[in-house]
Copies of this chain bind each other. A is one copy, B any other.
Amino acid sequence: MNRKSGCAVEVTLSVMGGTWKPIILFHLLHGKKRFSELDRQIGGITQRMLTLQLRELEEAGIVERTVHAEVPPRVDYALTALGQTLQPVLLAMRHWGETYAREHLQEDAAPAHCTMDTEAAVPLQRAA
């Protein structure tokens, strides 16, 4: 746990900070996803990174990993109740990014898989 100056912001960062975690979490807001789905939907991530990040999120109690004892193997990941509470943060980030891109970058909006209906996605279970 990294708490350089003891700020609550850093606690959040230590859990969902980094290059990939916010993106992974964002895709999971949609609902549970399989490893390969995440792999495909998040362009550019390596399997190694995806695995590592998912493990860290799992250890922080943010995502839940379910292994189905089948052949071929199937594993899916979903946000835990605690993970759901990150929704406001993630949505705030997305909203800001969209506005910034639109008003300051003059680029088109994010592609469909990112502009997905997250507002109407999974309802918050613990507004904390």
* Residues of chain A at the chain B interface (Cβ within 8 Å): 1, 4-13, 15, 17, 19, 22-23, 26, 41-45, 61, 82, 85-86, 88-90, 92-101, 103-105, 109-111, 113-115, 128
Contact = CB atoms under 8 A, between A and B. Distances in A.
Contacts of A41: 5
A109 B128 CA distance: 15
B97 A12 contact: yes
Q: Is the interface of A mostly helix, strand, loop or mixed?
A: helix
Contacts of A9: 22-23, 26, 90, 93-94, 97, 114
Contacts of A19: 13, 17
28 contacts: A4-B42, A5-B23, A5-B42, A5-B43, A5-B113, A5-B114, A6-B110, A7-B94, A7-B114, A8-B93, A8-B96, A8-B101, A9-B22, A9-B23, A9-B97, A10-B97, A11-B98, A11-B101, A12-B94, A13-B22, A13-B97, A88-B92, A89-B89, A89-B92, A89-B93, A95-B128, A99-B128, A103-B128
